[in-house]
Structure 1
């Protein structure tokens, strides 16, 4: 159970469901209610497909090109840490991705499915948390269920986006994004340390 909660928190931090709300609202501001619902379902389904690919095939892809998972874990941890710093000290996820929307890319695929939901951090998490050398199939299924639980939360939030965003506003979304950044920085540091440990134990 603790492993499932840990995976859930990890995915929640890297996907940042609340931070996706302003992006979704900006993308769908000119759409009708039924179109918003269709965009929400499309974005989550596409993101789920991408993350499932990395969950099941990501490690095999790395091994095929000769990259050990420990090296990917260290590199991913460093990237995640830098990303977490931007969430804490720089523009939060909502501000960054709303700028992407304003540049004209207003589709369910980009920036909603990628990189808002299926972010680089989420792809890395899907690979690292299902390491075939450390985790059995039951653990990997639990990890997948934790990922789907977060995606279900994303979908629920998107379907009620207008009501929620009116309640928390820009400031609330920014605060949540920064808290998730702090959690993500801690997780990233742990991944770097574990990756270094695994590399020298090989």
Structure 2
């Protein structure tokens, strides 16, 4: 299992470094634009930006033919998929850590302490990241990585659509269609996590039945 996870990160290493640099740059930008809505978006972007490496990892596996070799390893197929999803969870954690760097830095330099804004930044980012990964991975596993950029974009759009749908459904409770409402953020995040977990089991089924040319 550790070897599989290590290989996942090896294939994403250079891209993860770039993601950290971009996230760090966004943290610096947040120090100069201390507006709650802007900080929310920066934190959400920091959580989301790491998950774009999923497509890179899968494409690298195909190019190196690792995706064929790993099926010959003395591990169960569900362990291979589990290693992928653990890797995704670690990427989520990287994003949350960088979001925390932003929140702490802004607090230290300006005293900004709007916890509702900070919480929404995490919720929005996690909803985008987990929904995108949950849709993107099984799709790429099923149809291949040739159009990974398009699949990622469509998955990201679907994740935003989830927020819009939840905010519309909850309008009677929130008083208006408001994607930034705390209830919308909390429920969207829970649904997104459910999609991510369900995606794991779907991916196992796809992987078990997949034939590699």
TM-score tier by shorter-chain length is: 0.3 to 0.5
The higher radius of gyration belongs to 2
Q: TM-score, normalised on structure 1?
A: 0.42
Q: TM-score, normalised on structure 2?
A: 0.40
Q: Which has the higher contact order (CA 8 A, sep 6+)?
A: 1
